[in-house]
Amino acid sequence: MLKILVTDGMDKGAVQTLKDMGHEVIEQFFEPEELKEQVKNFNVMIVRSATKVRKEIIDSALQTGNLKLIIRGGVGVDNIDVTYAESKEIKVRNTPKASSSAVAELALGHMFSLARFIGIANVTMREDKWNKKKYKGIELSDKTLGLIGFGRIGRKLAKKAKALEMKVVYNDILGPAKDCPEYSFVSLDELLADSDFISLHIPGNKDKSPVIGKPEFTKMKDGAFLINCARGSVVDDQALLEALNSGKLSGAGIDVFSEEPPQNLELINHPRVSVTPHIGASTREAQKRIGVEVVSIIKENI
């Protein structure tokens, strides 16, 4: 029997499956200082984005040697000190397949919201304002979508965008994808210059430096839209604000922030910004898939 700690919530069906397998499952979030003590008692820890598993947490777990596996229920593992954990023979795994469609759909939702003023129109309607003539939007069809990063999520979004009659181009560190000839691989500079919508689907740099900053905004087409459902650190917030305020960008859709909850109120309250609180994987379907994948990982690794 394993003792399993679920700190940030997990699909109830998956929790029950683990219990039916004979494991003890504790579902509780702990603040860092308390987590340092509690982690000593568990063999497996399952986290999402709220719990940070840093060196001091891992060192505390090493005092008993019970912890053998850390699972991130999601794609990115930047809230876990992976290298350090694995150097101490604690395995780290994630669930990269489960949430791809959910994140792609949210990115697309932000694109619709920005193109048709859906978010701000909701706000002003509830303020008893009838801004019918003010919100003249654009159609997504025939627009160019540039994908920075062409992994699972990028490919899901490309397929959905193509169904909307968008032209899809992409740039990826691995180069052209041989199995996707229907989409065009281009240089990053070409993507920035030609895209009406730019959507980010890349991990953050290890040093937290932005991938998209002032030089990249300068290269973008005037009036473009930027979508970030990847990591908050990949975009320079101040440069983004400047691009929005100058009119260089028509809008931005943001689900992730360098600090969560975000403290940059000027950005999240900007009238041309569509914001969500890091809910890319927050669908019932994705959470069920994540739960199934977590159970599979535990079976394979313990």
Residues whose CB is less than 8 angstroms from the CB of residue 24 and which lie 6 or more positions away in sequence, other chains included? 1, 2, 3, 4
Task: Report how far apart, in Å, the C-alpha atoms of 76 and of each of 59, 153, 216 are.
Answer: 22, 12, 24
> How many helices, marked H, and strands, marked E, lie in the chain?
12, 12
Among residues 110, 155, 278, 289, the one annotated as catalytic is: 278
Task: Report how far apart, in Å, the C-alpha atoms of 185 and of each of 129, 168, 169, 189 are.
Answer: 44, 9, 6, 12
pLDDT (mean) for 127-133 = 96
Helical pair 284-301 and 100-115, crossing angle rounded to 10 deg: 150
pLDDT more than 90, % of the chain = 95
Q: pLDDT tens digits, residue range 160-190? A: 999 999 999 999 999 999 999 999 999 999 9
Per domain, the residue ranges of the chain are 3-95+283-301, 100-275
Q: pLDDT tens digits, residue range 83-124? A: 999 999 999 999 998 999 999 999 999 999 999 999 999 999
Does the fold of domain 100-275 match that of domain 3-95+283-301? yes
Confidence class of residue 302 from pLDDT cuts 50, 70 and 90? Answer: confident
Among residues 165, 260, 266, 285, the one annotated as catalytic is: 260
Q: Structure pTM?
A: 0.91
pLDDT (mean) for 39-65 = 97
Q: For residues 23 and 265, what is the distance between their CA atoms, to the nearest angstrom? A: 44
Q: Which CATH architecture has domain 100-275?
A: 3-Layer(aba) Sandwich (3.40)
What does pLDDT average to over the chain?
Answer: 96
**What does the DSSP assignment read for 195-237?**
-SEEEE--PPPTT---SB-HHHHHHSPTTEEEEE-S-GGGB-H
89 is a catalytic site residue: no
231 is a catalytic site residue: yes
- Pair 252, 226: CB distance under 8 Å: yes
- With tokens 């003023």, the residue in question is 117
Centroid of chain to Cα 65:
32
Q: Strands across the sheet with 44-47, in order? A: 24-27, 3-6, 44-47, 69-72, 91-94
- On whether the 3-95+283-301 domain is CATH 3.40.50.720, my answer is yes
- Pair 224, 198: CB distance under 8 Å: yes
- 295's enclosing H/E stretch is helix 284-301
Among residues 110, 231, 270, 289, the one annotated as catalytic is: 231
Q: pLDDT tens digits, residue range 215-259? A: 999 999 999 999 999 999 999 999 999 999 999 999 999 999 999
Residues whose CB is less than 8 angstroms from the CB of residue 74 and which lie 6 or more positions away in sequence, other chains included? 48, 49, 94, 95, 99, 281, 290
300 is a catalytic site residue: no
Q: Coil, strand, or helix at residue 7?
A: coil
